[in-house]
Amino acid sequence: MTEDEIMALARRALFEVAPDLEGESINPDESLRDQFEIDSMDLLNFFIKLHDGTGVDIPEKDYAQLATMSGVVAYLKSRLGAH
Amino acid sequence: MIAFRMPSLGADMENGKLIEWLKEPGDDIKRGDILAVVETVKGAIEIESFDEGVLEKHVATLGQSIPVGETLALIRGIGENSEEVDAGFRAESVSGDGAPKATPAARKRAHEASLDLAGITPGTDGVIGLEQVNAAISTMSEKPDADKTGATTKTKTVKPGLDLTVMRKSIGAAMARSKRDIPHYYVSSPIDCMALTDWLERENEKRSVAERILYAAPLIKAAALALLKTPNLNGFYTDEDFHSASGIHIGVATSLRGGGLIAPALHDADKLSVDNIMTHLRDLVGRVRTGRLRASEMSDPTVTISILGEDTADAVAPVIYPPQVAIIGCGSISKRPWVIDGDIKIRDIITVTVAGDHRVSDGRAAAQFLRHLSNAVQQPEEL
């Protein structure tokens, strides 16, 4: 998957979890929690969708690396590349 | 004939707007079936039937704002005779006064897609069906990047049908009433919850991401078990008297983006496993986000819990939601120095605050609750 494809997938996952955000522009470097009042449940559902879309298992200890959209893309890219 | 009425969906509701029928005259109605969808300041709420029979007729008109207690429809009970048997399908979901005619399925689909029926051209029979709605939806999705091209002005995204200003007013009214009528007391304790967080970490390590548990789930279970032992925190104060509730239905305060709060009930939390609570919680939060809660979830929490969540604040002193008699506020978990057997250790600490109604209980009940909660949290595998 290219970086753009991962970003598109992550955006789609976020909007599915929080349909009221559909169409919002996302600042890739600001934490999703701060930017959109995403709570723990939203975040968990977001990670589930990322897992479903990429097959990457995301252990709980790695959650901190996925706080921002650019973090999500970097993390998934490196995990996908490592396969 | 049984009257199917507009239910009260909480202390802050006076009326609701009927936006959709999900059952037509002639349809069989079972207990728990969803008959109608009502729009309130808390979003679209599905209204279920507590009776069985056959839907005789719709009484209220779509689009009307209807006071709590008013009849929405009539249900012919089992064994009752029909006044006028009319079992065949009529496009009756249709209101008289200018609102577009549409089938219930089309109405539902349009509602889900946030489409206004008024903007859809009906089929040749003058009724909007699924075909027309689907066509309108696909035209809509063919121009998805309107925002980027600047073709449309961007508005703040808020759930359809949810007016946050109105919601703020109704929360204000309910809370003012609570503070005026309920003599609140507050009792609070920091609780060492390291046993719980350690257990969760071990559990979640074994689980795939979809099966993981948030600490809210075991915490709710622990609170439910503690409430079993402190029944005068669980129930309603109505007609100048306390009525202890038979079940423990915990309203879980869920904040909405942009402001506002909904606390739908997690039913019989004391009887559910932690995994079950997590599943229900996920479902509830999902439906809070999409605006599809059920009337029973809105109307019957017997107590409320507010869990602030990670990285928020240490403690909350919440306001009771009438006619309930207690509310439990949990701050975020953080690492703190803690004395164990004369030594200072770093432990995970959560501060839990109980607001209780002095007409019903004293601080002692809340202190007992906190002790039971703390004990339950020390043995998370038993929850």
How far away is chain A from the Cα of B310, in angstroms, using its nearest Cα? 7
Q: Does the CB of A62 have a partner CB in chain B at under 8 Å?
A: no
Asked if B286 lies within 8 A of A58 by C-beta distance, the reply is no
B282 → closest Cβ in A23, A33, A41: A41
Q: What are the φ and ψ backbone dihedral angles of B310, each rounded to 5 degrees? A: -65, 150
Judge whether B60 and B73 are in contact, CB under 8 Å: yes
Q: Does the CB of B151 have a partner CB in chain A at under 8 Å?
A: no
pLDDT for res B145: 40
**CA distances from residue B5 to B15, B23, B66 in whole angstroms, order as listed:** 11, 14, 10
pLDDT for res B150: 39
pLDDT for res B318: 95
pLDDT tens-digit profile of B175-215?
A: 999 999 999 999 999 999 999 999 999 999 999 999 999 99
pLDDT tens, N- to C-terminus, chain B (383 residues): 889 988 887 766 778 889 889 999 999 998 888 899 888 777 778 888 888 999 999 999 998 888 888 899 999 988 777 654 443 333 333 333 445 666 655 665 666 666 777 777 776 666 676 667 667 776 665 444 433 333 333 344 445 556 677 778 888 888 999 999 999 999 999 999 999 999 999 999 999 999 999 999 999 999 999 999 999 999 999 999 999 999 999 999 988 877 778 889 999 999 999 999 999 999 888 888 877 788 888 878 999 999 998 888 999 999 999 999 999 999 999 999 999 999 999 999 999 999 999 999 999 999 999 999 999 999 999 99
Asked if B310 lies within 8 A of A24 by C-beta distance, the reply is no
In chain A, whose CA is at the least distance from the CA of B254? A39
B310 → closest Cβ in A23, A40, A52: A40
Asked if A40 lies within 8 A of B309 by C-beta distance, the reply is yes
B365, amino acid identity: A
pTM score over 0.80: no
A36: helix, strand or coil: helix
Q: Does the CB of A59 have a partner CB in chain B at under 8 Å?
A: yes
pLDDT tens-digit profile of B296-349?
A: 888 789 999 999 988 889 999 999 999 999 999 999 999 999 999 999 999 999
Residues of chain B positioned with their CB less than 8 A from the CB of A58:
209
Strand partners, B40: B43
In chain B, whose CA is at the least distance from the CA of A36? B257
For B50, the token pair is 């507590």
